[in-house]
Structure 1
């Protein structure tokens, strides 16, 4: 372990890395055309890493900095999963081919808010 790295960055106020491109890269000038270009430039020969955000929790963890919605009802979660699966299909259509995936990361919120059946349905869509 390199203790110099820990000393150097351990107490820094570094931004959280939660997406690529990172949030500061997004602006009103980033539209559907830019997004299509990004998808078109995904290398065919390299696997991609996916992040699926499930922005729901049953209760608030006060230490959490994630974008989430507190709900006791299942309807918003089911609605979100329906739209997420639609987006997965749209992205697959835009890419126009099968794409190897090296990693799938689930975040939130609380991804385990999904039932096992909902999780299986979502991963089957992928």
Structure 2
């Protein structure tokens, strides 16, 4: 879950999609959610700074580190963006899910992730 404190559409997804009947049970029972706030201004200890492979700049805040991870690893910088990974960090669904206020569409995305995980890790 690439998100942001200032991301209005992220809050809309959490309040109006995540909380619905077709979605909430899947999130609670089938997924581990890692919410990475790309605008988090928490300063990192110098030992945790990273030099971006994307732009060559040193990332000194938690948010800039997460934003760099998103663009370096997944080739995009948009929020909200939902990417389903397995426990090895491998992407299970090629296309991320972006803002869409339809709970059914999001539940289909989540169910597809479960199906692909189960098929891969029988």
Please give the range of the TM-score, normalised by the shorter of the 2 chains.
under 0.3
TM-score w.r.t. structure 2 length?
Answer: 0.28
TM-score w.r.t. structure 1 length?
Answer: 0.27
**Larger relative contact order (CA 8 Å, sep ≥ 6):** 1
Asked which structure has the greater CA Rg, the reply is: 1
